[in-house]
Amino acid sequence: MKRTVCFLLACILTSLVFFGYSLNNVLAKDSRPEFQRYYKSVMIRPGDSLWSLAETYRGEEMSVEEYIEELRFMNQLRSDTIHSGQYLTVLYFE
């Protein structure tokens, strides 16, 4: 009886170790590399829009819509309207 209990406990412990190792490998493969965020000030030129700024600076880390929301939040913009000569802080990744 005692041997059976020890054997079952050893099997359960081995299974848990194997499951933990497998889960760790899966999570490590699915994680995307972290990119450092940087900020800079840019002067708005004629023809610039939040959309064009997003296309220029966002990289692959955010969708255009997410990036525009971030620009609006960082620069305290209540609308998507920006003007030539205005300075905005933009986010970019490396």
Q: How many domains are there within the chain?
A: 2
Model pTM score:
0.62
Q: What is the pLDDT of residue 76?
A: 96
What does the pLDDT profile of the chain (94 residues) look like in tens digits? Answer: 888 877 777 778 777 776 676 777 666 665 556 778 999 999 999 999 999 999 999 988 889 999 999 999 999 999 999 999 999 999 998 8
Give the SS3 label for residue 19.
helix
15 lies in which domain range?
Answer: 1-31
Query: CB 61: neighbour CB atoms within 10 A?
Result: 15
How many angstroms separate the Cα of 17 from the Cα of each of 6, 8, 25?
Answer: 16, 14, 13
Contact 90, 71 (CB under 8 A): yes
**How far is the C-alpha of 12 from the C-alpha of 48, rounded, in Å?**
62
Residue 67 sits in a domain whose CATH number is 3.10.350.10
